[in-house]
Structure 1
Amino acid sequence: MRARAFVPFKRRGAKSRLHPFLSERERERLAVCMLKDVLSALSHSPSVAAVEILTRDGLSELSEMRAEISDLHMRIPLIFKEERGKGLNDALNAALKSFSDAEGCEKFSFFVLMADLPLISAEHIEELLRFNEDIVLVPGRRGGTNAIVLRGEALRKFEFRYKRISIIEHIQEAKMLGLPTRIHDSFFFSTDIDEVGDLIDLLTFGTGFAAAYLREIGVFVASRHGWLSLVRERKVQAHQSEMKEEQAKEIE
């Protein structure tokens, strides 16, 4: 069974917890690079039939995003859907209802994948989509839910419950429905990039657009007394200039 993938994404003001290590412009660019890593993995996965990006960004951000990912040469259809005014749960529940109401939906899985998982590959996605349970949940390392696969009865019964510790909410939802469920633990799926320390894993294990971008702006991993830490070795002046611009905006 092939899957249709749905990827929630926000460019504007992305990854605020990486401030002040990265400037606003750098955080937004990193978010796009991580999205490109995820889209590349999806595009090379034979089990993925199409991808839909659900975004709350406006038309100008959408235009910029399209330009920034134009070099991917996606092998499968890529659709952008603007969901301004909707929260994550509302957007996903609406997408699921539209999907389940469509003729022939039972031939596909509904696959939700977060956009900040730069370590996943097509092989990891294929492994996930091979499971047969109606509900497959993939936890993040801080209690989030980084991926969900729905099929069968779950397409018409499941309700998304994203909040800070969403994996518990989604497990409870699955138990309430009484449908076959699997919890899939995976380092690569669980490694979402939200905090500064997460960049160490990205630079250590990442080989895609996001890791390359960090190195481009001078962010590296250094070993000091047996501990890994982040350092900025190049383009520091440009980074400091961007930070001063942001501070000036805050004062205004």
Structure 2
Amino acid sequence: MTESHQVHAVIPFRPVNPKTRLSAVMDQKEREAFARAMLGDVVSVLLEAGCLPCILSTVPFEYPGVRTHIDERELNEALNAYLSLQETPVLVIMSDLPLTTPDAVKRIVSGTADVGIVPGRGGGTNALYIRTPQAYHVDYYGASFCDHVRIAEDAGLSYEVIDSFFMSTDIDEKEDLVEILIHGGGRSLSFLRETGLALSLERGRVGIQRSSHE
């Protein structure tokens, strides 16, 4: 697949003080390193799936071999400004989806609808494939899945909901780390293991515990 035929994939990324809801198990330095590990897993999957990734960062940031676009504005403003400049299909995929697989990416970008939507848990949106970016806009936060369906309908665009366990698993809370330790691989799993985070049984459910580094 030549670069001109590759699907452009934009990955919103916050390098500084990300994932604050993981503060109970990671300090800021660790959260920043973990966010970079998850980003690395997403980038690797996109490249394997034949996409051309671009990191949309809030501050100057470099990732080897990947273009970075800097925009200090809020997520919606930054993404919509980016989409307004694109003339070919764009995949918007979050950086905290370390379980995403090449097959899942290929599935969403091979759809025939104008917009492909991968819902996250709790009403969020983890990925959007937009065939005509200038005819669409995003509205993240809150029940963004419902918003993105409505935006497609209002614009007269067809849409398809993509059901993918791995791509729908975003990592925000301590409990979410369980999924990486069970199903994950790559940089994210290695980071958790190096940090001493492991599975534990808590009241009949699988949880997270941290061991010492001695």
Does the 8 Å CA contact 2:84/2:134 hold for their aligned counterparts?
Answer: yes
What displacement does 1:226 show? 3.5
What displacement does 1:133 show? 0.6
1:94-142 CA distances to partner (integer Å, 9 max, x unpaired)? 1111113xxxx3xxx2110000000011121111111111111111012
Could you tell me which residue of structure 2 aligns to residue 51 of structure 1? 53
Could you tell me which residue of structure 2 aligns to residue 122 of structure 1? 102
Higher Cα radius of gyration: 1
Partner SS for 1:11: coil
The correspondence for 1:167, drawn from 116, 134, 145, is 145
> Share of identical aligned residues, percent?
33
Cα distance between partner residues in 2 of 1:224 and 1:177: 47
Cα distance between partner residues in 1 of 2:16 and 2:134: 32
Q: TM-score, normalised by structure 1?
A: 0.79
Could you tell me which residue of structure 1 aligns to residue 13 of structure 2? 9
How many residues end up aligned between the 2 structures?
210
> What pairs with 1:200-219 in structure 2 (closer than 5 Å)?
200-219=178-197
Could you tell me which residue of structure 2 aligns to residue 95 of structure 1? 82
Partner SS for 1:213: helix
Asked if residue 30 in structure 1 is aligned to residue 34 in structure 2, the reply is: yes
Cα distance between partner residues in 2 of 1:24 and 1:224: 26
Could you tell me which residue of structure 2 aligns to residue 187 of structure 1? 165
Cα distance between partner residues in 2 of 1:155 and 1:116: 22
Partner SS for 1:116: coil
Cα distance between partner residues in 2 of 1:211 and 1:142: 24
Partner SS for 1:36: helix
Q: Which amino acid aligns with 1:55?
A: S
1:57-111 CA distances to partner (integer Å, 9 max, x unpaired)? 2x3xx2xx53xxx4xxx5xxx2111112x111111111111113xxxx3xxx211
Q: Which amino acid aligns with 1:5?
A: A
1:171-229 CA distances to partner (integer Å, 9 max, x unpaired)? 11111112111011211111000011101111111011011100001000123563211
Gap runs ≥5 in structure 2: none
Could you tell me which residue of structure 2 aligns to residue 247 of structure 1? none
- Closer, same or farther: CA 172–217 of 1 in aligned 2, 3 Å: same
1:135-178 CA distances to partner (integer Å, 9 max, x unpaired)? 11111012111000011xx4322111112221111111111112
Q: TM-score, normalised by structure 2?
A: 0.93
Give 1 or 2: higher helix fraction: 1
Cα distance between partner residues in 1 of 2:205 and 2:128: 34
Does the 8 Å CA contact 2:123/2:142 hold for their aligned counterparts?
Answer: yes
Cα distance between partner residues in 1 of 2:92 and 2:112: 16
Deviates more, 1:177-186 or 1:193-202: 177-186
Gap runs ≥5 in structure 1: 237-252
Could you tell me which residue of structure 1 aligns to residue 135 of structure 2? 157
Query: Alpha carbon RMSD of aligned pairs, Å?
Result: 1.5
